[in-house]
Each structure stands twice: as C-alpha cells, then as structure tokens.
Structure 1
Amino acid sequence: MSEEQAISAVVHLYVDGMAFANEGALRKAFHPSASIVGNSGDAVEWLTRDAFIASIVREGAAPPDAQPLMEVEMVHITGDVASVKVIDEFAGARYSDYLSLLKVDGRWLIVNKVWHRHG
C-alpha cells in the first residue's frame, strides 16, 4: 500500500466514523493525544480526542444507507508527516477540515484537526 493509500484509508475512517458515530473507527484514526480545534459561536472549541468522540456519539449516526460527503481537496506528504484538507458534512452542516497526520510505529494517525463550519 502506498503512503497516499494509507492516508486515504485514515481519512475514510475519520469521515465514516463521524457520519455513523463509529467510536472504534474514530479511535483508530486519531492519535490518543490529538487536538480538535475550531470556532464554535463566539468561542474557540478545543477538544481532546475523547471529548470529540463523545460529542460525535452524542449527536448520533446518520441513517445506515447515507452516503457521507468526503471531498479530499489536498494531500501533502513530507516523510512521516502529512496534511490533508477534506470537505465533509456532519449533523447537517458542511465543514472544511484540515488534518495533520503523523506516521507513528508504521501507522498514519491524525494528530490535529482544525475545522471551519460553513454558514
């Protein structure tokens, strides 16, 4: 498997994990120390991986026959680090997510997510 394919697999885990509130997929995609950051209303929302996953599970899953939106607009890889921009939807809103990935023990993991919710 190429590095691009391995990174794509992690991004798919992430998008499917969000869409279907799949805690296991999200735990597999994110490093345990990952940060998830974005503006929520008038405040910066800064979540740990576990708090982020809990919020996804609370929101609930999309219908089982739903086709999650996932438009990968950019992938940059330099050695054992990568940056991905993905457009996706969650809970009826569209997001631009910037994912930072790090190769840890031979596996790509999301170590940081910065998001923007489109109006």
Structure 2
Amino acid sequence: MTTVRVRRAYDPAETADGCRVLVDRIWPRGVSKNTLALDEWCKQVAPSTELRKWYGHDPERFEEFAARYETELGDAERAAALQHLRELAAAGPVTLLTATKRADISEAAVLARLLDS
C-alpha cells in the first residue's frame, strides 16, 4: 500500500514522513536550504506558472485547477517527474511538501491523490 502524505514545508519533520519531497517550483520563503529537512526538490512536477497564477489558491477554483494540472502532468518533463514520485512511493512512505497555506487545495494534494490511486 502506498503511503503519501501532504504537509507544509514550514512544519517540522516527523519520523513517519519517510522520503520528504518539495513539489513547489519556488523555494519556500524564509526557509534556508540548510534547515528544511528534505530528501528531494522535484520542481519539474510543479504546475506551470500560468496555471499557478490563474488558480491563486482560490478554493472555488480547486477542482478546475486539479483538472488542468492533471492535463499538464501529461507533458513529457512533468510525466517523468510524476513517474519518479510513483517509484519513490512504491519504495516506502513519501511526504509531499508545499509552501502554500492550505496544503489540502495545493498541487501536492492533487499529486497525492494520483499517487494513491
């Protein structure tokens, strides 16, 4: 069984996190690269700048964002990154990290749903 969690990059690491992967294209503000407990930064899987700006983390746009993002994940570079995340998830627990205030309506939540299915 795949175990994929979604957490904010600002939250402290937990033992149950397993492999911690930042999935944002932009590094979290105010966090040094030395202090973030991170195994990988997989920015290739992040949504396009255009999609991210259109979405603006508006909860009413989340379902449309998720659909558009899943379409973007068909692009070669994003598809390869998604496959890499699948391989990590098959090997053990994975925690997808995002800097957004609401991780439940982020690209990390969309990715977790895809990886768990």
Q: TM-score, normalised by structure 2?
A: 0.27
Q: Which has more strand, going by share of residues?
A: 1
Greater relative contact order, per chain length (Cα 8 Å cut-off, separation 6+): 2
In proportion to residue count, which structure has more helix? 2
Instruction: State the TM-score, normalized to the length of structure 1.
Output: 0.27
